[in-house]
Amino acid sequence: MPEHGELAWIFNCVARLGWLDRMTQFKEKSGKHKERASVGLYTYPVLMAADILVYKATHVPVGEDQKQHLELARDIAQKFNNDFGVPDFFPQPEPVIVGAATRVMSLRDGTKKMSKSDDSDMSRINLTDDAETIANKIKRAKTDPHPLPGSKDALKDRPEAENLLNIYAALADQDRDAVIAQFAGQQFSGFKTELADLTVAKLAPLAAEMRRLLADPAEIDRILKDGASRARAIAVPVMDEVKKQVGFIS
């Protein structure tokens, strides 16, 4: 999908350094040595804006941690529209944040986001994990020595407890307060067993489909080709109009 990269470069000429300097995820990933980080990492939020706006998306399902990127996409869309005198060309995309686990945290550190790039495989649940591996990761997840809290106010300064309760609520499709009431005062050992069983049950169909697809690369290629074809039918006309507006083509 070359349109993503093409629009990202144009957006790089519209976005402002001050906007990107405020992106918290770059600060988290680059750490104390941001001068060693790549330009691609720094401008990645601009590429995300292009991913969204090349389809003129109006609503984007995201986690809580991606809300800032949607705000950047809105800023870029508005500035592009203003700079080139096309007030209604790009929409102002809205984040759609739903469910109890809007930000799933690491199983080893409740203050860090669960991530596939974490050094520890025990910090996350992979869709390719089998039932035994999932159960083992849940049961070995970091907790504190106190029983499960009886109210959401009691979750303060207990990030690991909050994370596991959020995950349970999301998988069970329940309100978090209801889950807190259900397990209030119980020990983590029993709760983790129930969470492990629930996680395995919910992820089993996804894991089975992942294994099926990984065993059939030709099917993956077919799906990607079909998706790219349908996506380009939307993106190409948008990019043609963008190129006209910025003067690349007449």
CA distance 27 to 22: 8
For the chain, list the domains and their CATH numbers.
Answer: 2-98+226-246 (3.40.50.620), 121-214 (1.10.240.10)
61 pairs with which residues across the strands? 96
- pLDDT of 65 reads 82
Q: Is 152 a catalytic residue?
A: no
CA distance 52 to 125: 27
What pLDDT, in 10s, does the model give residues 118-177?
899 999 999 889 999 999 999 999 999 999 999 989 999 999 999 999 999 999 999 999
Active-site residue, from 32, 79, 112, 116: 116
**Exposure on the CB side of residue 78, measured as CA atoms within 13 A:** 9
Contact 188, 143 (CB under 8 A): yes
b or e along 90-122 (b: 16 or more beta carbons within 10 Å of the residue's beta carbon)? Answer: bbebebebeebbbebbbbbbbeebbeeebeeeb
Whole-number Cα distances in Å, 49 to 3, 79, 91, 147, 240? 12, 13, 12, 43, 18
**Res 31 pLDDT > 80:** no
What pLDDT, in 10s, does the model give residues 183-196?
999 999 999 999 99
Q: Is 225 a catalytic residue?
A: no
167, two tokens: 């995950």
CA distance 185 to 181: 9
Active-site residue, from 67, 79, 113, 243: 113
Q: Is 113 a catalytic residue?
A: yes
Active-site residue, from 29, 56, 112, 142: 29
The predicted model scores a pTM of 0.82
